[in-house]
Chains A and B, each alone.
Chain A
Amino acid sequence: MRISMIAATLAAAALCSAAGPALPVIAIRNATVHTASGPVLEKSTVVVRNGLIEAVGPSVTAPADAWVLEAPSLHVYPGLTDAMSSWGLPAATPPAAGPGAATAPPPPARGPEDRPSNSSWVRAQDLVNPSDRTVTAARNAGFTTAAVFPTAGIFAGQGALVNLAGEKAGQMTVATPLGQYLSLSPRGFTSFPGSLMGVVAYVRQVYLDADAYRAEKAAYAANPRGARRPAYDRALEGVLESPRLLLPAVWAKELVRMTELAAEFKRPTILYGAHDAARVAPYLAKSGAAVLVSLKWPERARDPDPEADEALRILELRENAPAAPAALAKAGVKFAFYAGGVERPADLRAAVKKAIDAGLDREAAVRALTLSAAEIYGVADHTGSIEPGKIANLTITDGALFQTSTKIKFVLIDGVKYEPAPEAPARQQQEEKR
Chain B
Amino acid sequence: MKRHLVTFLAFCLAITAGPQDTFLIRDVTLHPVSGPDIPLTSVFVEDGIVADVGPKLAVPKGTKVVDGKGLHLYPGMIDSATTLGMAEIGAVRETTDVAELGDFNPQLRALVAVNPSSEHLPVARANGITSAIALPSGGIIAGQAGLMHLDGWTWEDMDIKRSAAMHLRFPTISLQADESMGRRGADTPASFSEGKRRYDETLQKLRIFFEDARRYQKAKAAGGAGFTVDRKLEAMLPVLEGKQPVMVTAGRKRAIADALDFAKRENLKIILAGCREFTPELLKEIKARGVPVILPETLALPLDEDDPYDALFTIPSQLHREGILFAFATFDSSAVRNLPYQAAAAVPFGLEREDALKAVTLNAAKIWGVEDRVGSVDKGKWADLVLADGDLLETKTQIKQMWMRGRSVDLSTRHTKLADKYASRPD
Asked whether, in the complex, the Cβ of A305 is within 8 Å of the Cβ of B306, the reply is: no
**How many interface contacts (CB-CB < 8 Å) are there between A and B?**
29
Answer whether residue A21 sits at the interface, using C-beta atoms and an 8 A cutoff: no
Asked whether, in the complex, the Cβ of B304 is within 8 Å of the Cβ of A305, the reply is: no
Known: A303-B193, A305-B195, A309-B304. 18 other contacts (CB 8 A): A302-B191, A303-B192, A303-B194, A304-B192, A305-B173, A305-B175, A305-B176, A305-B192, A306-B192, A307-B252, A307-B253, A308-B176, A309-B306, A309-B307, A311-B304, A312-B305, A312-B306, A313-B305
What is the size, in residues, of chain B's interface with A at 8 Å between Cβ atoms? Answer: 16
Docked Cα-Cα span, A312 to B305, in Å, equals 8
Chain A contact patch, size range:
10 to 19
Docked Cα-Cα span, A302 to B195, in Å, equals 14
Instruction: Give 22 A-B contacts (CB < 8 Å), ordered by A residue.
Output: A302-B191, A303-B193, A303-B194, A304-B175, A305-B173, A305-B175, A305-B176, A305-B192, A305-B195, A306-B192, A307-B252, A307-B253, A307-B254, A309-B303, A309-B304, A309-B305, A309-B306, A309-B307, A311-B306, A312-B305, A312-B306, A313-B305
Closest B residue, CB atoms, query A313: B305
Residues of A within 8 Å of B254, CB to CB, are 307
Residues of A within 8 Å of B175, CB to CB, are 304-305, 308
Chain B residues within 8 Å of A, Cβ to Cβ: 173, 175-176, 191-195, 252-254, 303-307
Chain A residues within 8 Å of B, Cβ to Cβ: 302-309, 311-313
Docked Cα-Cα span, A59 to B212, in Å, equals 91
Residues of A within 8 Å of B303, CB to CB, are 309
Q: Which 9 residue pairs spanning A and B have beta carbons closest together?
A: A303-B191, A311-B305, A309-B304, A305-B192, A303-B192, A305-B175, A312-B306, A303-B193, A307-B254
Residues of A within 8 Å of B191, CB to CB, are 302-303
Docked Cα-Cα span, A62 to B156, in Å, equals 105
Closest A residue, CB atoms, query B302: A309
Mostly, the A contact residues are loop
Closest B residue, CB atoms, query A304: B192
Docked Cα-Cα span, A307 to B193, in Å, equals 13
Minimum Cβ distance to chain A for residue B196 (Å): 9
Residues of B within 8 Å of A302, CB to CB, are 191
Minimum Cβ distance to chain B for residue A318 (Å): 15
Docked Cα-Cα span, A304 to B307, in Å, equals 19
Docked Cα-Cα span, A76 to B307, in Å, equals 52
Docked Cα-Cα span, A309 to B253, in Å, equals 12
Residues of A within 8 Å of B192, CB to CB, are 303-306
Residues of A within 8 Å of B252, CB to CB, are 307
Docked Cα-Cα span, A303 to B192, in Å, equals 6
Closest B residue, CB atoms, query A314: B305
Docked Cα-Cα span, A302 to B252, in Å, equals 23
Most buried by B among A305, A306, A311, A313: A305
Residues of B within 8 Å of A306, CB to CB, are 192
Residues of B within 8 Å of A303, CB to CB, are 191-194
Closest A residue, CB atoms, query B306: A312
Closest A residue, CB atoms, query B175: A305
Closest A residue, CB atoms, query B194: A303
Minimum Cβ distance to chain A for residue B426 (Å): 45
Docked Cα-Cα span, A300 to B124, in Å, equals 47
Minimum Cβ distance to chain A for residue B241 (Å): 35
Minimum Cβ distance to chain B for residue A287 (Å): 29
Closest B residue, CB atoms, query A312: B306
Most buried by A among B191, B192, B307: B192
Minimum Cβ distance to chain B for residue A319 (Å): 15
Residues of A within 8 Å of B253, CB to CB, are 307
Docked Cα-Cα span, A377 to B305, in Å, equals 40
Closest B residue, CB atoms, query A302: B191
Residues of B within 8 Å of A305, CB to CB, are 173, 175-176, 192, 195
Docked Cα-Cα span, A110 to B305, in Å, equals 36
Most buried by A among B173, B252, B306, B307: B306
Closest A residue, CB atoms, query B193: A303
Docked Cα-Cα span, A306 to B176, in Å, equals 12
Docked Cα-Cα span, A304 to B193, in Å, equals 8
Docked Cα-Cα span, A304 to B173, in Å, equals 12
Minimum Cβ distance to chain A for residue B171 (Å): 15
Docked Cα-Cα span, A8 to B314, in Å, equals 67
Docked Cα-Cα span, A265 to B370, in Å, equals 71
Docked Cα-Cα span, A303 to B175, in Å, equals 11
Residues of A within 8 Å of B173, CB to CB, are 305
Docked Cα-Cα span, A264 to B146, in Å, equals 63
Minimum Cβ distance to chain A for residue B250 (Å): 13
Docked Cα-Cα span, A244 to B305, in Å, equals 38
Docked Cα-Cα span, A305 to B173, in Å, equals 9
Residues of B within 8 Å of A311, CB to CB, are 304-306
Closest A residue, CB atoms, query B173: A305
Minimum Cβ distance to chain B for residue A348 (Å): 27
Minimum Cβ distance to chain A for residue B254 (Å): 5
Docked Cα-Cα span, A305 to B193, in Å, equals 8
Docked Cα-Cα span, A304 to B195, in Å, equals 10
Docked Cα-Cα span, A312 to B308, in Å, equals 13
Closest B residue, CB atoms, query A306: B192
Minimum Cβ distance to chain A for residue B186 (Å): 14
Docked Cα-Cα span, A410 to B303, in Å, equals 54
Closest B residue, CB atoms, query A311: B305
